[in-house]
């Protein structure tokens, strides 16, 4: 946890706010131009579903990602063959205040119903801004295409969660098609009070057939079973496979987890830092039918594996900052042909 705080120029912040406030006529054009100037090379503004603003990241090799300002929400991640790697429901409601069903919702400052706020907190239901004063890129990552977003509390938020914070989110697309999300959350309370929060990147992966998928890297770990009132259990067996509803919070997980999709001959690799827990969720048939923004059979083609900090909430004193990083990559694989041993994926770099 770092307590260094780079000063943010008030004028820059005001300019960014003004740039985001225009919506029509010459003011709207000026806003769009001002916003565009805040983007890194390779990123561009576009209008998404229902006219919501989004940023499109394009890597020269062909991979693409889309990030909606509503929710700071990644809704698409395509490889250089144009294949969609994230799942978004065909019934997703792209209309505030409803959260977008699929992609990578951000759960902050509360995961699920573990607190007094609405489920999964409010970050995924707020309009984020382009960060006018982002931190510089590390020299070894300068070839990534990225967007930097920022979220601060509204007056309404302060009524239900009375804490001042700055949440900076960087979404970056690497030259190999890997997708990285870095969250930096700082306590800016002026009253000297600390605050605590739980967190998750609620990532929905697109899979060919859930019955043909297995998750490696969570064997023998303790987990809290949300289907049994968060009863603490220990994972048995060689790998996690799916034949019914699953909703588990795995504890003290490794920094690398692999999702093997046999039919697509693809392995997703999740690398994470600052996020000790991992949620594995598939609603299966009954729960799918109960969700208005989720197709009855769509559970067959998605799996959530969520890098998270849940069991032990993060506590920040004023001036302190927490950082949580998730890197996603997709590599060709096949158990059948023996092209890839998943254990080598987990143990390799």
- The number of beta carbons lying within 10 Å of the beta carbon of residue 183 is 23
Mind listing the pLDDT tens digit for each residue in 39-62?
Answer: 888 999 999 999 999 999 999 999
Confidence of residue 276 (pLDDT cuts 50, 70, 90): very high
- For the four alpha carbons of 91, 97, 103 and 106, in that order, the dihedral sign comes to negative
What is the model's pLDDT at position 116?
78
Answer yes or no: is pLDDT of 92 > 80. Answer: yes
Answer yes or no: is pLDDT of 316 > 60. Answer: yes
**Active-site residue, from 73, 163, 202, 262:** 202
What does pLDDT average to over the chain? 87
| Rounded CA separation 29/43 (Å) | 18
Q: Which of 265, 268, 53, 250 is nearest to 179 (CA)?
A: 268
**Active-site residue, from 306, 311, 321, 327:** 306
Distances from the Cα of 246 to the Cα of 91, 107, 125, 162, 337, angstroms: 22, 19, 25, 34, 29
Let me know: does 65 contact 80? Beta carbons within 8 Å: no
Q: Which residues contact 12 (CB under 8 A, 6 or more apart)?
A: 132, 133
Confidence of residue 195 (pLDDT cuts 50, 70, 90): very high
Pick the residue with more confidence: 130 or 8?
A: 130
How far out from the chain centre does Cα 182 lie? 9
Confidence of residue 114 (pLDDT cuts 50, 70, 90): confident
Mind listing the pLDDT tens digit for each residue in 242-251?
Answer: 999 999 999 9
Q: Which of 292, 104, 282, 270 is nearest to 200 (CA)?
A: 104
Judge whether 262 counts as a catalytic residue. no
Confidence of residue 69 (pLDDT cuts 50, 70, 90): very high
**Averaged over 198-213, what is the pLDDT?**
97
- The number of beta carbons lying within 10 Å of the beta carbon of residue 241 is 14
pTM above 0.95, yes or no: no
Range 32-332: architecture per CATH:
Distorted Sandwich (2.70)
Q: Angle 124-130-133 (CA atoms, 0-180°, nearest 5)?
A: 125
High-pLDDT (> 70) share of the chain, % = 83
What is the model's pLDDT at position 26?
42
High-pLDDT (> 90) share of the chain, % = 75
Judge whether 202 counts as a catalytic residue. yes
Answer yes or no: is pLDDT of 211 > 90. Answer: yes
What is the model's pLDDT at position 34?
61
**Averaged over 293-311, what is the pLDDT?**
97
176: tokens are 């190999």
């Amino acid at each position: 946890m770092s307590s260094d705080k780079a000063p943010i120029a008030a004028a820059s912040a005001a300019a960014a706010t003004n740039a985001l406030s225009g919506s029509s006529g010459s003011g709207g054009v000026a806003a769009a131009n001002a916003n565009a100037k805040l983007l890194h090379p390779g990123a561009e503004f576009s209008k998404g579903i229902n006219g919501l603003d989004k940023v499109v990241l394009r890597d020269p090799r062909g991979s693409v990602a889309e990030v909606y300002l509503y929710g700071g929400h990644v809704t698409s991640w395509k490889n250089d063959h144009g294949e969609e790697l994230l799942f978004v429901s065909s019934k997703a409601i792209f209309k505030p205040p409803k959260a977008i069903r699929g992609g990578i919702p951000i759960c902050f400052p509360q995961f699920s119903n573990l607190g007094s706020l609405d489920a999964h907190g409010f970050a995924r239901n707020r309009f984020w801004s382009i960060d006018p004063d982002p931190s510089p890129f590390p020299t070894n990552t300068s070839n990534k295409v990225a967007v930097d977003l920022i979220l601060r509390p509204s007056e309404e938020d302060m009524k239900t969660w009375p804490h001042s914070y700055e949440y900076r989110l960087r979404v970056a697309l690497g030259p190999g098609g890997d997708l990285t999300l870095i969250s930096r959350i700082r306590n800016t309370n002026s009253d000297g009070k600390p605050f605590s929060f739980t967190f998750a990147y609620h990532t929905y992966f697109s899979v060919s057939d859930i019955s043909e998928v297995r998750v490696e890297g969570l064997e023998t770990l303790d987990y809290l079973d949300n289907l049994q009132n968060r009863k603490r259990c220990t994972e048995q067996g060689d790998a996690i496979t799916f034949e019914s509803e699953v909703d588990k919070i795995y504890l003290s997980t490794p920094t690398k987890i692999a999702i093997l999709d046999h039919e697509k001959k693809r392995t997703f690799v999740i690398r994470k830092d600052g996020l000790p827990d991992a949620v594995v969720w598939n609603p299966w048939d009954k729960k799918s039918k109960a969700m208005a923004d989720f197709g009855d059979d769509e559970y067959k083609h998605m799996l959530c594996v969520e890098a998270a900090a849940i069991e032990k909430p993060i506590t920040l004193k004023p001036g302190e900052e927490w950082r949580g990083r998730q890197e996603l990559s997709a590599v060709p694989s096949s158990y059948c042909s023996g092209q890839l041993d998943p254990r080598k994926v987990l143990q390799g770099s």
